[in-house]
Structure 1
Amino acid sequence: MTTMANPCNISADLEKHIVKEAPPTIYYVPNFITEAEEEHLLQQVYRAPKPKWTQLSGRRLQNWGGLPNPKGMLAEKLPDWLLKYTEKISAFGAFAGKTANHVLVNEYKPGEGIMPHVDGPLYHPTVTTISLGSHTLLDFYKPVCQTQSEIPQTEERRYMLSLLVQRRSLLILQDDMYKLYLHGIQGVYEDILSEHVMNLSSTGAQVGDTLPRSTRVSLTIRHVPKVIRANLLLGKK
């Protein structure tokens, strides 16, 4: 895949992968990396020292680049095996001319998921994800309406659509799909594809297919605008 010279604009090649059936804006690029790249990335993830992992209920994760927080992320240099992909995605114009500086690595075993959420204001309003090892089904929900109290606002009632996120793919969420709608992953062992999966035409899958999950590792690549450089903490310029 080639990129345009101006990284402030979304590249023309990336525009070809917009999911037109969904609200603005989703880009889904199947086979963004090769099988060899996938294997290499998985090896690097699992070579990380044990203290690098944080165990949560339902998944475990690694932070690379620093720990984002409202006061500013203490910036850490990304390793070369991640820099290759943060720079490639940034060159697409995904972060409006900025360069990705943070990678969150999540490991989801079969049956594990994450509650519906938004990524919030700590990040540039774009999230990009490379998936390794397995597919998943990413579900989207409308936010809870503060003025409506007559009808229970369950997840089922607020559900909008899903995306089939295949291994080795790149997913980019921007605009309303980042800022407004919540996204989450059901903690199941297999996914049954329905007509609500908006990107089936680019996946080779069909409505009614049943896809067993394996262990999935996701590389969530973002730009954190507010950072603190280590030399500033030391009083250096």
Structure 2
Amino acid sequence: MDKIPSINEGIDLSVIRGLGYIPNFITGAEEKNLLESINREPWLNDLKRRVQHYGYKYDYRARSLNYSMYLGDLPAWVDPVVHKMRRRNLIDQNFDQLIVNEYLPGQGIAGHVDCQPCFGETIFALSLGSTCLMDFINIESKNIVSLLLEPRSLLIMSEEARYKWTHGIAGRKTDVYKGRSFPRKSRVSLTFRKVIF
């Protein structure tokens, strides 16, 4: 594993119960292989950003999915990531839904809670290519906690992080975090979920 210090060291994530963050979850070589595999696949332009759906296709407008939206198994190129999650005892079941999102500088996503009737209790998101600042907002108190998602990092949302906080990314080209500027480059996120009906 690449031993690169995390900018988030010293940040207390316990204020959001169920939020986990693992920097350098994959190596630089693994990141390169994933990006090459992803870019060999076709992209959809359903949104303002490019996306790929695996397992089940998620309907963003209806915020739903069903059995008729099944596309097939997840691609083999994510197997090493899933095996690593299993080896680290992060999961005890298989994922059946994966969304790949590409964010260019200036692009973001509105704060949201992932569809509760659609997906299980834990969401995993792997970041590739670039940093970006993610904002978590408590639905009741409106308290805001920001975390810089670093390339190769794994974000885990369960419990309150999954259900009581929205997560989103502001549409800008540079993030300021801990007094430092982080210009954005092209970023790809892989969001792993378990479908429930």
TM range (shorter): 0.7 to 0.9
- Cα contact 1:86–1:101 (8 A) shared by 2: no
Match of 1:112 in 2: 107
Counterpart pick for 2:125 among 121, 124, 129: 129
Q: What's the C-alpha RMSD, in Å, of the aligned pairs?
A: 2.2
- Cα contact 1:86–1:221 (8 A) shared by 2: no
Q: Secondary structure at the match of 2:24?
A: coil
1:139 counterpart = 2:135: yes
Q: Secondary structure at the match of 1:76?
A: coil
- Cα contact 2:13–2:20 (8 A) shared by 1: no
Counterpart pick for 2:184 among 191, 196, 213: 213
Cα shift at 1:129: 0.9
1:179-227 Cα distance to aligned partner (Å, 9 max, x none): 111110000111111xxxxxxxxxxxxx20111110100011111134x
1:88 counterpart = 2:80: no
Cα shift at 1:109: 0.3
Amino acid at match of 1:84: P
Match of 2:51 in 1: 61
Cα shift at 1:159: 4.6
Of 157-166 and 23-32, the range deviating more from structure 2? 157-166
2:46 and 2:188 map into 1 onto residues whose CA distance is 14
Consecutive unaligned residues in structure 2, runs of 5 or more: 2-10, 59-63
Match of 1:6 in 2: none
Amino acid at match of 2:38: V
Q: Structure 1 pair 182/124, CA: closer, same or farther in 2 (3 Å)? A: same
Match of 1:223 in 2: 194
Q: Secondary structure at the match of 2:98?
A: strand
Cα shift at 1:93: 4.5
Q: Secondary structure at the match of 2:155?
A: strand
Q: Secondary structure at the match of 1:131?
A: strand
1:167 and 1:176 map into 2 onto residues whose CA distance is 25
- Cα contact 1:128–1:170 (8 A) shared by 2: yes
1:102-148 Cα distance to aligned partner (Å, 9 max, x none): 110000000000001000221111111111100111101122x5xxx
2:110 and 2:13 map into 1 onto residues whose CA distance is 26
1:48 and 1:125 map into 2 onto residues whose CA distance is 28
Structure 1 length-normalised TM: 0.70
Cα shift at 1:92: 4.2
Match of 1:190 in 2: 174
- Cα contact 2:54–2:71 (8 A) shared by 1: no
Match of 1:98 in 2: 93
Q: Which has the larger radius of gyration?
A: 1
1:104 and 1:115 map into 2 onto residues whose CA distance is 16
What is the identity percentage for the equivalent residue pairs of Structure 1 and Structure 2? 37
1:42 and 1:56 map into 2 onto residues whose CA distance is 20
Could you list the structure 1 runs, at least 4 aligned residues long, displaced by more than 3 angstroms after superposition. Answer: 18-21, 68-73, 90-95
Consecutive unaligned residues in structure 1, runs of 5 or more: 2-17, 146-156, 194-206, 227-237
Cα shift at 1:23: 1.7
1:82 and 1:213 map into 2 onto residues whose CA distance is 24
Counterpart pick for 1:168 among 134, 152, 155: 152
Cα shift at 1:60: 1.5
